[in-house]
Amino acid sequence: MFLIIVGYFTALSLLAFFMMRIDKAQARKRGQRIPEKNLWTAAIFGGGIGAYFGMMVFRHKTKHTNFRVGFLLLAAIDVALIIWSYQTFNR
């Protein structure tokens, strides 16, 4: 069960990370952007770690306090849930 949970968080984090990359690239060339609600949705449903690292690596949305604080908080919640699932299911 633990591996399934880690796989879920990994998949959502990768999705959120690459969504940040794509949105940054689109912003640079003034292309069609990924709506902010989609970035938040990916982060809320388990991609907080990837969203936060994507924001930092690509320097995207870093001037927005709600993204900096929100993605960091969601990443911390994701880490806590992974630790909890390890302690609960990996016995």
The pLDDT score that the predictor gives to residue 26 is: 97
The pLDDT score that the predictor gives to residue 90 is: 80
> What values do phi and psi take at 86, rounded to 5?
-65, -45
Question: Rounded to two decimals, what is the model's pTM?
Answer: 0.91
CA-CA distance, 90 to 54, in Å (whole number)? 29
**What is the DSSP secondary-structure string of 52-63?**
HHHHHHTT-STT
Cβ(67)–Cβ(54) under 8 Å? no
Low-confidence stretches of the chain (pLDDT beneath 70): none
Distance of CA 62 to the CA centre of its chain: 14
CA-CA distance, 39 to 56, in Å (whole number)? 14
